[in-house]
Structure 1
Amino acid sequence: MKTLVTGASGHLGANLVRRLLEDGHNVRVLLRQGSNNTAVDNLQVERSYGDLRDFDSTLAAVEGCDRIYHCAAKVSTLDGDAHFHQEIYDSNVLGTIHLLRAALNAKVTKVVVTGSFSAVGHHPSHPSDETIPFYPFGKHLPYEVSKAFMEQECLKAYADGLDVVIAVSCAILGPNDFKPSRMGKTLIDFAHGKIPAYVGGGFDFVAAKDIVAGHILAMEKGRGGQKYIFSSQFLTIDEIMAIFEEVTGVAKPKLCLPSKVMAGVAGIADFIYPRFFPKAPRRFTSGAVRILQMHRHADTNKAQIELGYQPTSVKQAIYEAYQDFVRRGLIVKADKERGTGNREQVMGNS
């Protein structure tokens, strides 16, 4: 029995592949030529090269597989232009359509598709669960809309006879973050003292091992045509900064910018960066600030009751992420023991 994992070079995919290999599964990964695929270096996996936007290469990757974990997606908090919108749609919606159609053609037994908490409806007075619909007329990012459309494609495939389950992920924290992710970059910058201030707000976070466990539970026990939300804990950004301080030994920034101020700054950056610095990395966008200010809480009761999901510790996930970055040389650890103020680079296997 062979299992296909898409998005294996991403944060979720890298952790999922390692768990599947530990559990003795025969794993094939779909990779794109020319992409950063270091996440699967030295792993005993079968590599299939292609692009989900191309149906033929997707079908070739699916052939001979019994199960599929579809983790691939283009994640972004940018609004972007028409070209960017098309890129998001092609990657997240069209790619999913191709994957599901190929799974139906190949008579795959079951597919678990990674959903996003951003595509779950928001209720201001209580945590969001799977029953709250996504409101289509609000101010949404292209990524959020694409993930909502992706869920509709899953339901269509289920109606056509495919056993497909949606595993909804919140913001992931943990090791094996090779690209790295937005939160991974934030931890790296924090450890190097490069975050002078932060913005208030909060979100639901999920430990990497928890979202991996959630995907496996969805595969083993999830009901077809259903979605399950997986989160470990809601944390404010102030609480995240405090954990970063405890884990890294670096003092958190003293300045917490008011949300209205940060929203204004991000709005100006949204105008300037695409025009003058299109390739420059950005920590905060208007979309990211808006999401943090919503204080969205996740309700994981359905996953806990139906699947036996048991969330673990976000603090432990951050510690594991930090240690992994140190081992791989992405974080230069302060040498406090000798009191010299120098820094030592701790290298290790990736």
Structure 2
Amino acid sequence: MMEANERSIPGGKVLVTGGSGHVGANVVHALLDEGQEVRCLVVPGERDDPAFRGLPVELVEGDIRDYDAMLRATKGCARVFHVAAKVSTLNASAGEQRELYEINVIGTRNVMRASLDNGVARAVLTGSFSSTGYDLDDPSRPSHEERPFYPFGHVMPYSHTKALAEHETLRCVIDGLDAVIATSCACIGPWDYMPSRMGRTMIDFSRGKLRAYVPGGFDFVNARDIARGHLLAMERGRTGHKYIVSTAFHTLEDLVRMFSEVSGLPPVRLEVPPKLMASVTGLYAGSLAKLFPNLPQRLTPGAIGVLQMRRHADTSKAQRELGYRPGTIRDAVRDAFVFFAREGKLPDAVRDHVLRHHADAADAAARPPVAAQ
């Protein structure tokens, strides 16, 4: 018997955009664990991306900024997970703002409109917690789905574009598309090939390059949780509704302590005042952005500002309506370190420690649950 919100979504091929990214790769693995037939959209010329190495997926080339390409990509698919996005915590230049808009807004419009025009049964958009509203008097109060995005404060251009991506999705819902939004917080976990900002921070820690941290915190999501949340949103979410999928709030001090516990390395103990760090990173980030616009940066003034807000996520709607149950960030840190160890990203001594002490537990967590008889 179906649960209250469970939908009968037709089987068939599933399209995933952004399948080489951190969240997207975990969605792809979760779908494959369920025996689904998966098609992944790849940027032209990037079929050899390591994220797809050895996976039984169909690869189709296309740019989400090209509507005709999205028509071809979605053709014959019953379901679509639109995960692809450009992520940035920089105060973007005019050129980068244009790219953020083209990818996150126009790209979403194209994917959702093509899904509607091709008769896709249901689509799920990956939303960003940064485009969910918060209490202006106390940003640390838990944010829920009904709190509107406030565009007039000091928010990053990325957050604006992800809010507009939700609007584009809802415009297609009004026109008849069955779509749901699964909102992700900062993700930690395996299949982080690029790697993400948090992944690079963990690798830096393993190499002794992380010598200080700033006070503050954020709501983080275990990569396996966000993948599970996407599949639950597809299966049980209400059309046009948004669901926040997160695991737990942690301070940066919490995280570096977990890094230490899993890696066997001593913890970072130097705490730097956020205003000082923001000033230094502001000069550093600005210079780097001008000289090397595509160079990923660990910490920017925008990211520091977000951490100082200490934003918490309210996942009660996802738990109530989707049956979502979060894991732990400690497990996410463990699984991420095991992944990086196997990918050759860690120093030999750290790699050996991680695999000796944590590989079995990470492998057990990766196994799909056995259905009750």
TM-score (norm 2): 0.88
1:317-350 CA-to-partner distances (Å, cap 9, x unmatched) read 1101101111111112327999xxxxxxx9xxxx
1:64-96 CA-to-partner distances (Å, cap 9, x unmatched) read 000000000001111121111000000100000
Aligned to 1:343: none
Residue from 225, 242, 247 that aligns with 2:257: 242
With over 3 angstroms needed to count, the CA separation of the structure-2 counterparts of 1:147 and 1:22, relative to structure 1, is same
Aligned to 2:169: 154
Q: Answer yes or no: is 1:96 the counterpart of 2:96.
A: no
CA distance, structure 2, for counterparts of residue 313 and residue 79 of structure 1 = 32
Q: CA deviation at 1:263?
A: 1.4
With over 3 angstroms needed to count, the CA separation of the structure-2 counterparts of 1:127 and 1:327, relative to structure 1, is same
The residue identity in structure 2 corresponding to 1:201 is: G
With over 3 angstroms needed to count, the CA separation of the structure-2 counterparts of 1:212 and 1:336, relative to structure 1, is closer
Q: What does residue range 1-350 of structure 1 map to in structure 2 within 5 Å?
A: 1-35=12-46, 37-123=49-135, 124=138, 126-334=141-349
Q: CA deviation at 1:275?
A: 3.0
CA distance, structure 2, for counterparts of residue 176 and residue 337 of structure 1 = 19
Q: CA deviation at 1:41?
A: 1.3
CA distance, structure 1, for counterparts of residue 183 and residue 352 of structure 2 = 43
CA distance, structure 2, for counterparts of residue 114 and residue 75 of structure 1 = 12
1:34-87 CA-to-partner distances (Å, cap 9, x unmatched) read 347210111001111010001111110000000000000001111121111000
The residue identity in structure 1 corresponding to 2:32 is: L
Q: CA deviation at 1:248?
A: 0.5
Q: CA deviation at 1:18?
A: 1.1
The residue identity in structure 1 corresponding to 2:93 is: D
CA distance, structure 2, for counterparts of residue 48 and residue 284 of structure 1 = 34
CA distance, structure 2, for counterparts of residue 263 and residue 179 of structure 1 = 25
Partner of 1:329, secondary structure, is: coil
CA distance, structure 1, for counterparts of residue 290 and residue 350 of structure 2 = 41
CA distance, structure 1, for counterparts of residue 291 and residue 68 of structure 2 = 38
Partner of 2:199, secondary structure, is: helix
CA distance, structure 2, for counterparts of residue 190 and residue 144 of structure 1 = 28
The residue identity in structure 2 corresponding to 1:13 is: G
CA distance, structure 1, for counterparts of residue 32 and residue 293 of structure 2 = 39
Q: Which has the higher strand share?
A: 1
Aligned to 1:342: none
Partner of 2:101, secondary structure, is: helix
**Coordinate RMSD, CA, aligned:** 1.7
Instruction: Figure out how many residues of one structure are paired with residues of the other and give that number.
Output: 339
Q: CA deviation at 1:126?
A: 2.0
CA distance, structure 2, for counterparts of residue 72 and residue 330 of structure 1 = 24
CA distance, structure 1, for counterparts of residue 248 and residue 175 of structure 2 = 36
5+ residue gaps in structure 1?
Answer: 339-345
Partner of 2:219, secondary structure, is: strand
CA distance, structure 1, for counterparts of residue 352 and residue 105 of structure 2 = 51
Partner of 2:38, secondary structure, is: strand
Q: CA deviation at 1:200?
A: 1.4
1:232-254 CA-to-partner distances (Å, cap 9, x unmatched) read 00000000010000011111222
The residue identity in structure 1 corresponding to 2:129 is: F
CA distance, structure 1, for counterparts of residue 290 and residue 23 of structure 2 = 32
Partner of 2:260, secondary structure, is: helix
Q: CA deviation at 1:154?
A: 1.1
